[in-house]
Amino acid sequence: MDQQQFYDLLNDRMRRYGASPLDPTQVITITASPDYLASYDGQVAALVACNLLGRLSPSVQIGYTDLPIHPHLPWAGSSLVRHTMEGMVATNPFGTYGARPLAAGDFRFHLGQDGHETIVHGSGWNAYIGPAPSPLPPIKADVGTGAALAVVLGAAHLFRTRFGAMIDPFACNAWDWTDVPKLVEFSPIGASVGHVVTAGLGSVGSATNYFLALATRDFRASLIDHDHVGIHNITRSPVFTDAHAKIGLAKVKAVAAFLREAGVDEVAVDPVAFHESALWNSREAGSTDVLISAANEFNVRYHIEMGFPPIQLYATTGRNWQATLMRHVPGAKACSLCVFPPDEKFAPTACAMDGPRPPQTAVVEDRVDAALPFLSFAAGIMTAAEVLKLTAPGYPLSAERVMLGLKGQPLLVGTPIPHRTGCLCEGRHKAVHQAAVAGSRYAEFAI
């Protein structure tokens, strides 16, 4: 495959979205304030910036000083520059990636609370982009989520304005998803989050597992997806590489390899569609603590809801530059089918509580798989943040649905999810659902 063929496939989904790739001749140089880069949050920002910008552009240079990777991160003690460089090269064999000081004509993407006219800064659960200095309150706890979110905000601005300066400031937080920074010292680093099942390992599902692993390796992962990695998947996932695409590696195997290499000990894979998965269909009651429902084919929501799921967390990407986080707890007023009604061919004919399960007929949704890289990263961060906050006092901390808009000045809006009249969940017995999740780690959230 020659270079043009590679880029045609690489940028296919971006063009389907209605966007064009960045100017490949404009070099982006990532710099960072030394004190920020030495911190956990600063290194999360550097890892995510290289990963995301290296997928958005074939011309990225690392302009920060090398340091050992932070002890709280996977790959602790390794060279930060070498690790981030190898990651960029693995995504695009035709790209121009290197490590050198900032040069005249480069677009500077600066990480830190100061050190340049405009900055990308995350501290704790808070994120900021705009003119220096950063207004974020100092947070002692290592969190990383705000740092990753700030990079996504900065990348979205870069892409939207085509290398325009970040003149208008914007700050927000990933704690309760508002545009007011919060002084919260809760740290998810090393948190034990239990058995996490991910249905769908495309851009959002793989990104969620990536961001989870940056914070903790203390979870058991079960990965379910029937699809394989293609070149068009590389730009929207922080995990997939050109080597995966060349052999058409199963997405579950690519994510499993990443998690194991990061230090997650218990990883199970099922390379089938969700409704065919023994990991899900044969599970014991209460054995799954949280479901990341990131699939969208074969009427997956129907099969999820028929299976009396535990708490569900997931995010979707939309056609108007938005990522939307959603939460469904067992017995709540709205299930995932309230948001995504099933195909008419799959309309239930019996009560979900005691009726027979319908045949597992596969109906593929007719939808265009198109999204922008930073939207997939945003959706992954939002979902991972919610999983990490499950152990925080007072959870849940936000509305069931939170939308992050990135088409203009960033916008965060939280709203409840209304019940859909006639939905399958109207006939589902709450007591049966509660019994199905009894013993799971987050059963206390069941209504």
The pLDDT tens digits of the residues spanning 301-310 come to: 999 999 999 9
Q: Which pLDDT tens digit goes with each residue over 73-101? A: 999 999 999 999 999 999 999 999 999 99
CA distance 438 to 430: 12
Q: Which pLDDT tens digit goes with each residue over 115-130? A: 999 999 999 999 999 9
CA distance 113 to 5: 41
Residue 344's pLDDT is 54
Q: Which pLDDT tens digit goes with each residue over 208-238? A: 999 999 999 999 999 999 999 999 999 999 9
**Domains of the chain, first to last:** 26-173 (3.40.50.720), 194-445 (3.40.50.720)
pLDDT at 365 over 50: no
Q: Which pLDDT tens digit goes with each residue over 137-161? A: 999 999 999 999 999 999 999 999 9
In 3D space, the residue among 82, 20, 101, 89 whose CA is nearest the CA of residue 58 turns out to be 89
CA distance 61 to 121: 19
Per-residue confidence band for 366, with pLDDT thresholds at 50, 70 and 90 = very low
In 3D space, the residue among 19, 94, 101 whose CA is nearest the CA of residue 59 turns out to be 94
Instruction: Give the Å distances, CA to CA, from 196 to 28, 257, 291, 436.
Output: 36, 16, 6, 16
